[in-house]
Structure formats: C-alpha cells, structure tokens
Amino acid sequence: MTDVTDADLTPKAEHTKAAIVEAALALFRERGYDAATMRAIAQRAGVSTGSAYYYFRSKEELVQEFYARNHKAHLAATDAVLAAENDLAARLGGTVHALIDVLTPYHSFAATFYKHAAEPASPLSPFSPQSSPARVASIALYREVIEGSTARVGAAVRDRLPEFLWLYSLGITLFWVHDTSADCVKTDHLIDATVPVITQLVAASRLPVLRGALGDLAAIIDQVAS
C-alpha cells in the first residue's frame, strides 16, 4: 500500500485522497477497470497526475482502498443485525445480505473488475499478500458473527469456521457478479437457501462423523493457500 497513511494526512490531504478514490470508482463504473487510467482518475479528481501517484502508486492500490472502504461500510451495515440477533442463521444471513447491499452500486463494472481479482497472481486477488488487511478484517467479522451467536461449534472446526464463512461469502460474491436477474434477486434467494444449510452443518460439526471431513477440508484450504 501507499506510504502515506491516514494518520499522516491533514484535513485537506484527506479530502484530496477521498476525491481521488471517488473519481476512480466513478471511472471504474463508467469505463471499466482497464480503461480507467491514473491520468484520467487524476483529471476527474481535479488533481495533477503526480498528486494522484503521491497517494496511490497504482490502480491496484486504489482498489485496495476500495476494499478497505467497502469493509467499513459492511461493518456499519451489519451493526443492527449483530446487535439484535444471537441466532447464527440470522446473523450470518444478515451479514452476507449486507455485503451484497454494500457492493450493489458497483455491479455494473463488477464482471470486468473481478476477472482481474480471479487471477491467482494478481494483487487484486482476495488471497494476495496485498489484500491481506482486507482479508483479515473480513474473517474477523465472521468470527464476530459466530462468537455473538448461541451456536455450539465443534472443536475441530471452531478456529477455522470464520475463514470458512469468509470463503462462503466469496462464493456468494462471485455468483452476484454474474447475476443478471432483476435487482440480483437470484443472489438473495441463494443466500436464503444456503445459510440454513451452513448453520445445520455448523451444528453437526460436533458429531464425530463430521470431524474427519472438516479436518480434511481445512487441510485442503491450507494446501491451496500455501
């Protein structure tokens, strides 16, 4: 990420940085990720190209800022359901629905954008080192979803369950990217259909018959991520 941290910024600099991010997101929506150059982003933001590069060394760093902003918005959108519910299905369903709601304004360019994120070597990949802060923060949110619930989780899966739920949310996001139904209603239906299945599996994770399978799943994830 850029060497200029938010703690280093004056109010004017914070405004400039925010303007660059907003300009980038607007151009991503209008032109797509590939066609939105740093020069065009700077012009839209009303700053010099050099100033844009001062805050963000590349478009990839702008996307990491986009990830961070989206996560903050996602946290805010989950406050009500996590404060009101202790049922795991309600907490998980509300959290994933909130994620899609936060992403909705960017659906028009999501397909072209996420093709880069799907490339294993891309810094935009959710599994990349550059995306580590966003990934860690998102997994922490799903840990809160679990820990604030009344669900009893098997010991074999307890530590890994937040990561599993984050991976589930990635799958939902990928489906949403390609969802052409009106208001992405198919994505809403998919969430509503799969959350009960997941919570049933969580409840069953305490049964001996599932412990080995869950351990195998964790090992596969570790192997893929290494």
Residue 45: CATH number of its domain: 1.10.10.60
| Whether the predicted model's global pTM rises above the 0.95 cut | no
Range of the domain at 215: 60-225
| pLDDT computed for residue 52 by the predictor | 95
Percent of the chain with pLDDT over 70: 87
pLDDT in tens, 47-80: 999 999 999 999 999 989 989 999 999 999 999 9
- Quote the tokens at residue 87: 């049922």
- Quote the tokens at residue 83: 């404060």
- Quote the tokens at residue 38: 């740093």
Residue 64: CATH number of its domain: 1.10.357.10
Q: Specify whether 45 is located in the same domain as 130.
A: no
Contact 23, 41 (CB under 8 A): yes
Q: Specify whether 42 is located in the same domain as 148.
A: no
CA angle at 172 for the pair 167 and 173, rounded to the nearest 5°: 95
| pLDDT computed for residue 1 by the predictor | 43
Closest CA to 106 of 77, 70, 75: 70
Q: Specify whether 148 is located in the same domain as 173.
A: yes
Number of domains in the chain: 2
Contact 153, 202 (CB under 8 A): yes
20-51: b (≥16 Cβ within 10 Å) or e:
bbebbbebbbeeebeebebebbbebbebeeee
Q: Specify whether 92 is located in the same domain as 48.
A: no
Q: Specify whether 114 is located in the same domain as 71.
A: yes
pLDDT in tens, 80-139: 999 999 999 999 999 999 999 999 988 888 887 777 778 888 888 898 999 999 999 999
